[in-house]
Amino acid sequence: MAKASLSDEELWQRITAGDGRSFALFYDRYWLRMYKAALFYLKDTSASEEVVQEVFVIIWNKRQTLNINNFAAYLNSVTRYEVYRRLKMAKHSLIDFYEEFPATGAVVYNMGYERLTELDHEFMMQECLKELPKRCREIFQMSKMQHLSNTEIASLLEISKHTVENQLAIATKHLKQNIDKVAIFALLLIRII
């Protein structure tokens, strides 16, 4: 039987026995999915590649003690955990500075902290939006993140402009009602970090 046709469970049995070729096949099967997940949050190709490598190193080192039932879900969870761990570490290691060089008049400002804060807010908003129906969430994202007009959204989704406006009103109302939760979560996150 060719190794490429092996199921994840069969591959995993070989991996736990120390078969490096099976692990390479497992890597080939899942690395792109994990890379895309990391890239979604980090927006940095090299950092995303590092996350994937780190996750696979962890899996290889713990292969004999791991009990994985759903490989796709497990790898997705481990990847997200590694992304969040890296973001948290980066937040701690960032140095805010504002420096002016009188000789040249140049001003240097570290934007890293602002970018991480922006990522935190985006993550919290996405979590809040997950509570909305899929179509409502899709319309909101097309309007606010892709900056499409209501007419363009209606045309793309083949629905009326009035439906688009109603769905945006529902999403906006939901965000306003849950802004307290988001703000409290942000405060707790700041205190924890």
pLDDT in tens, 76-109: 888 888 888 887 776 644 444 444 555 555 555 5
Together in a domain, 68 and 146: no
Give the separation between CA 182 and CA 185, rounded to whole angstroms: 5
* Residue 101, in any domain of the structure: no
State the total domains in the chain.
Answer: 2
Question: Has residue 187 got a pLDDT over 80?
Answer: no
Give the separation between CA 25 and CA 40, rounded to whole angstroms: 24
What average pLDDT does range 66-85 have in this prediction? 83
Per-residue pLDDT tens for 137-181? Answer: 889 888 877 788 899 889 888 999 999 999 999 988 887 777 665
Residue with the bigger pLDDT between 28 and 127: it is: 28
Cβ-Cβ contacts under 8 Å for 19 (sequence gap 6 or more): none
What average pLDDT does range 17-29 have in this prediction? 90
For residue 188, give the CATH number of its domain.
Answer: 1.10.10.10
* Residue 26, in any domain of the structure: yes
Q: Are 132 and 170 in contact (CB under 8 A)?
A: yes
Domain that holds residue 41: 3-93
Question: What pLDDT does 114 receive?
Answer: 61
Q: Are 45 and 39 in contact (CB under 8 A)?
A: yes
* Residue 104, in any domain of the structure: no
Helix (H) / strand (E) containing 158 = none
Give the separation between CA 115 and CA 192, rounded to whole angstroms: 19
- Where b means 16+ CB within 10 Å and e means fewer, 58-82 reads ebeeebeeeeeeebeebbeebbbeb
